[in-house]
Amino acid sequence: MPTINGLQTENLVNVVNHVKQNWQQARTTWKAHTTWKGGFKVETCSRDFTLLADEPEMLCGTNTAANPVEMVLQAYGACLSIGYAMNAAVRGINIEDLSIELEGEIDLPGFLGLEPPEELHMDKLPGFKNVNAKVRLKADADAKTLDALHKHVVSTSPVGLTLSRPVAVDVQLADVPQHAAAGV
């Protein structure tokens, strides 16, 4: 099988066939670890890869790295790009150019623990109100084929689906020193 979009299509087909034959191995767990580096600087690691996070100066950071919500947008764009490359390759579609512009709107009062005036219609929740992505895809396929590819990629994006539906989140405070009871 050929190499398309820098991907060996035979390897992609083999992964799909392996999952079909070993459904239980298809349950995967992904991990990350973060370490606070002072101020708003954070080092985050997954496997052998490290990224830095910070806040812009307007939020009292030092603007040395993308902030976490920008990283969410980056993760979604990267996930979509990977989806286009993979799904186009197995369909025999050569991608000539692919870029994605993403933006999301967040109202800061929720993050800051503030109650905004009602007449401003600001969201009190500290998260994206919306995320918009504009995909520019140039490939050796007709519009109907690219539209089908687009719909498939969007509907199977793990990051996109994570953003679009509720996900169970459990955050626990661990290893907190227990202070001796008063008077003991």
- 58-91: pLDDT as tens digits: 999 999 999 999 999 999 999 999 999 999 999 9
φ, ψ of residue 7 in degrees (nearest 5):
-120, 135
Q: Mutual orientation of helices 68-90 and 143-155 as an angle, nearest 10°? A: 130
* pTM beyond 0.85: yes
State how far the alpha carbon of 65 is from the alpha carbons of 27, 42, 68, 77, 112, in Å: 32, 9, 9, 17, 21
- Strands 7-8 and 33-36 turn out to be unpaired
- CA count, 13 A, side-chain hemisphere, 16: 8
Phi-psi region of 164 (alpha: psi -120 to 50; beta: other; left: phi over 0): alpha
- Based on DSSP, count helices (H) and strands (E) in the chain, helices before strands: 5, 7
What average pLDDT does this structure show over 8-27?
A: 89
Answer yes or no: is pLDDT of 180 > 60.
Answer: no
Residue 124 banded pLDDT, cuts 50, 70, 90:
confident
Residue 133 CB burial class (10 angstroms; 0-12, 13-18, ≥19): middle
Average pLDDT, whole number, for the chain?
93
**Is 3.40.80.10 the CATH number for 3-8+67-114+121-164?**
no
* All structural domains of the chain with their residue ranges: 3-8+67-114+121-164
Instruction: Name the residue among 135, 21, 28 with its Cα closest to residue 87.
Output: 135
